């Protein structure tokens, strides 16, 4: 029974990972930018929500109304001032730019808030630990369930938005071929800025939920970035439903690992990630290239 | 009435000057065919007119307004649409989405999803297919349809017959003749001189980035165009 409980916990945790990962995946899919500051932007949003809740005493859920548009604005500004310029210099430069941005955010938050671990849990009252009893000994955490539901709604909404709205089609067209998109009347520069705003707003949403369910510090970003990467790679880059599946696989792997051994939470997630990566590498047929890929695919 | 005027236009690819001091005028309702060998600058000229390529010097006027510095997406909204070489469809999107995405950003007018499908009946069954899965002729019809969805005043067609089976080329040209009969203004690049002379009202021949021969299609003979196409006269002059 404990395994079923852990499975359910893992699935719900996977919802958080999917929420965290979809902004990263979206930005890569549209602009071919690997945003190494994604986790730190999530933590930035968490800090903003914390400062808001701490100074006003109003619920962090209300803070979301302000934090999400603010994060979208930051995303728009980042694209216009930094990412757009670095993209012009090739695909590797944005990697350096976002790496630098990550360091700036981390140390900026450290300077302002100090090294203390914080959490938004005290500001949401009972909701942080409430649960529903499904049967006598299976409980579902209400916050975890809410985050999962939000993740499903956000990913589904994003999928519908991209598939069935004019702006969504413009984003897909620009992602596929920005030069031709301009030839059918799309302002690719504006579309990129909107996509960056969406991606950073999604990072912010995930960050505020992280702060509700766990503790965070100014240096928590890179760990979250790794989880987001793992979810994206397990689920397959560019697929939103895949991202949800990837998040769930990672979450279940981690909770099962933690059940096997208290130290097993992180390592089992990484092992599953590496196994999927090796499997993909093998499937892609790169075994023929020899070397470490051939070794990873088990054909050495 | 002059719809498009190009004055002393230069366009470069790095150090290579592809278009050299081209002067060109296109009147309302006219069909101009650009012919010339590979590398003569036809595609670069069209892309510069559409705004997809930056002009190094010279000016482009559309309906009397200087559009030289206007970005491509705004020129489209003003009424210049390019069907690019190689079709360049959004291959992961359906045919219908390819058409819709153009319509959303273009001008309003007679061309809608229904009228485009009417003009290219072969697309009717294909609206829900991914554009990347279509045959070459179907892709070309989609690419022209996509440009038409923006209701352009000036349609630029770059090598619409390239890579198509002869029967597909016939179908594409039948649709073009319908367009031309409807009063559309078209600049087209065509490698097949016979087709260019048949469909166009005026022909301009490019050689090494310059227009070396220009005139009404009815005054042109295949021999004159061929001579300009290969720069034979210059070779003869140099020899004598």
In sequence order, which ranges of A115-263 are alpha helices (DSSP H)?
142-164, 166-176, 178-183, 188-213, 221-235, 240-260
Report the 10 Å Cβ neighbour count for B139. 24
* CATH number of the domain residue B95 falls in: 3.40.50.300
pTM assigned to the model: 0.89
What residue segments make up the domains of chain A, in order of their start?
A: 2-220
| CA-based nearest residue to A22, from A195, A281, A218, A176 | A195
Asked if A177 and B146 come within 8 Å (Cβ–Cβ), the reply is no
Q: What is the pLDDT of residue A300?
A: 41
For residues B174 and B169, what is the distance between their CA atoms, to the nearest angstrom? 9
SS3 A138: strand
Cα angle B97, A236, A224; round to 5 = 115
Are B106 and A185 an interchain contact pair (Cβ–Cβ within 8 Å)?
yes
Distance CA B221, CA B105 (A): 41
What lies within 8 Å, CB to CB, of B229 at 6+ separation is B35, B36, B37, B193, B205, B207
Among residues A189, A176, A229, the alpha carbon closest in space to that of A34 is found at A229
Number of separate domains in chain B: 1
Residue B150 CB contacts under 8 Å (≥ 6 apart), including other chains: A184, A185, B76, B81, B102, B103, B105, B106, B107, B111
Q: Which of A170, A179, A183 sits opposite B104 (nearest CB)?
A: A170
The model's confidence at residue B163, banded by pLDDT at 50, 70 and 90, is confident
pLDDT for B240 equals 62
The reported pLDDT for the residue numbered A239 is 83
The bridge status of strand B16-27 relative to strand B2-13 is antiparallel
Residues with Cβ < 8 Å from B116, sequence gap 6 or more? B99, B123, B145, B148, B149
Find the DSSP H helices in chain B: 42-50, 72-78, 95-105, 113-119, 136-148, 166-181, 193-199, 222-230, 232-239
Interface residue B90 vs chain A (CB under 8 A): yes
Residue of A nearest to B132 (CA): A176
pLDDT tens by residue, B47-84: 999 999 999 999 999 999 999 999 999 999 999 999 99
Nearest CA-CA partner of A218 in A43, A41, A99 = A43
Quick: pLDDT tens for B2-57.
999 999 999 999 999 999 999 999 999 999 999 988 889 999 999 999 999 999 99
Which residues of chain A register pLDDT less than 70? 285-300
Residue ranges of alpha helices (H) inside A57-177 are: 60-78, 84-88, 93-113, 142-164, 166-176
pLDDT computed for residue B124 by the predictor: 92
Which residues constitute the domain of residue B78? 2-239
Q: Tens digits of per-residue pLDDT, B185-214?
A: 999 998 888 888 889 999 999 999 999 999
Q: Is the dihedral of CA A231, A232, A235, A241 positive or negative?
A: positive
Q: Are B8 and B23 in contact (CB under 8 A)?
A: yes
How far is the alpha carbon of B228 from chain A, nearest alpha carbon, in Å? Answer: 31
CB A196 within 8 A of CB A79: yes
Q: Which class for A289: exposed (0-12), middle (13-18), buried (19 or more C-beta within 10 A)? A: exposed
Residue A1 burial (C-beta neighbours within 10 Å; 0-12, 13-18, 19+): exposed
CB of B77 less than 8 A from some CB of A? yes
Q: What is the largest CA-CA distance in chain A?
A: 62
Say yes or no: A191 contacts chain B, CB-CB below 8 A. no
Among B99, B109, B179, B185, smallest CA distance to B134 is for B99
């Amino acid at each position: 029974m404990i395994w079923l409980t852990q499975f359910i916990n893992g699935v719900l945790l996977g919802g958080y990972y999917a929420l965290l990962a979809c902004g990263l995946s979206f930005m890569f899919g549209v602009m071919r930018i690997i945003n190494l500051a994604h986790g730190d932007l999530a933590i930035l949003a968490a800090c903003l929500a914390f400062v808001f809740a701490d100074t006003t005493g109003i619920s962090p859920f209300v803070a979301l109304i302000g934090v999400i548009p603010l994060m979208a604005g930051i995303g728009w500004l980042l694209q216009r001032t930094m990412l757009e310029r670095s993209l012009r210099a090739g695909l590797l430069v944005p990697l350096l730019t976002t790496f630098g941005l990550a360091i700036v955010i981390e140390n900026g938050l450290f300077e302002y808030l100090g090294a203390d671990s914080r959490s938004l849990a005290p500001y949401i009252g009972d909701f942080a630990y409430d649960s529903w009893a499904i049967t006598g000994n299976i409980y579902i955490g209400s916050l975890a369930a809410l985050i999962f539901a939000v993740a499903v709604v956000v990913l589904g909404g994003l999928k519908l938005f991209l598939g069935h709205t004019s702006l969504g089609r413009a984003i897909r067209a620009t992602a596929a071929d920005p030069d031709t998109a301009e030839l059918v009347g799309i302002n690719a520069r504006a579309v990129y800025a909107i996509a960056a705003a969406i991606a950073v707003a999604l990072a912010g949403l995930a960050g505020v939920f992280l702060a509700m369910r766990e503790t965070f510090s100014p240096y928590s970003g890179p760990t979250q970035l790794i989880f987001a990467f793992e979810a994206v790679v397990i689920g397959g880059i560019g697929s939103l439903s895949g991202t949800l599946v990837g998040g769930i696989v990672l979450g279940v792997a981690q909770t099962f690992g933690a059940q096997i051994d208290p130290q097993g939470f992180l390592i089992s997630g990484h092992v599953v990630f590496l196994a999927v990566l090796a499997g993909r590498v093998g499937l892609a047929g790169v075994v023929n290239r020899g070397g470490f890929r051939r070794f990873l695919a088990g054909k050495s | 009435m002059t719809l498009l005027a190009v004055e002393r236009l230069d366009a470069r690819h790095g150090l290579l000057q592809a278009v050299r001091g081209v002067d060109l005028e296109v009147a309302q309702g006219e069909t101009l065919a650009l012919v010339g060998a590979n590398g003569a600058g036809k595609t670069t000229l069209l892309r510069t007119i559409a705004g997809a390529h930056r002009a190094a010097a010279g000016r482009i006027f559309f309906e009397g307004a200087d559009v030289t510095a206007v970005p491509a997406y705004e020129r489209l909204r003003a009424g210049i649409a390019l069907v690019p070489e190689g079709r360049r469809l959004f291959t992961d999107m359906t045919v219908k989405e390819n058409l819709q995405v153009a319509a959303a950003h273009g001008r309003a007018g007679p061309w809608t999803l229904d009228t485009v499908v009417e003009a290219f009946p072969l697309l009717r069954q294909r609206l829900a297919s991914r554009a990347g899965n279509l045959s070459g002729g179907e892709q070309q019809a989609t690419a022209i349809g996509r440009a038409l969805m923006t209701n352009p005043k000036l349609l630029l067609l770059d090598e619409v017959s390239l890579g198509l089976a002869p029967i597909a080329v016939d179908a594409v040209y039948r649709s073009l003749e319908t367009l031309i009969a409807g009063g559309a203004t078209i600049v087209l690049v065509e490698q097949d001189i016979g087709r260019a002379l048949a469909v166009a009202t005026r022909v301009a021949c490019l050689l090494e980035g310059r227009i070396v021969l220009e005139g009404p299609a009815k005054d042109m003979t295949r021999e004159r165009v061929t001579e300009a196409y290969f720069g034979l006269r210059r070779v003869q002059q140099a020899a004598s």
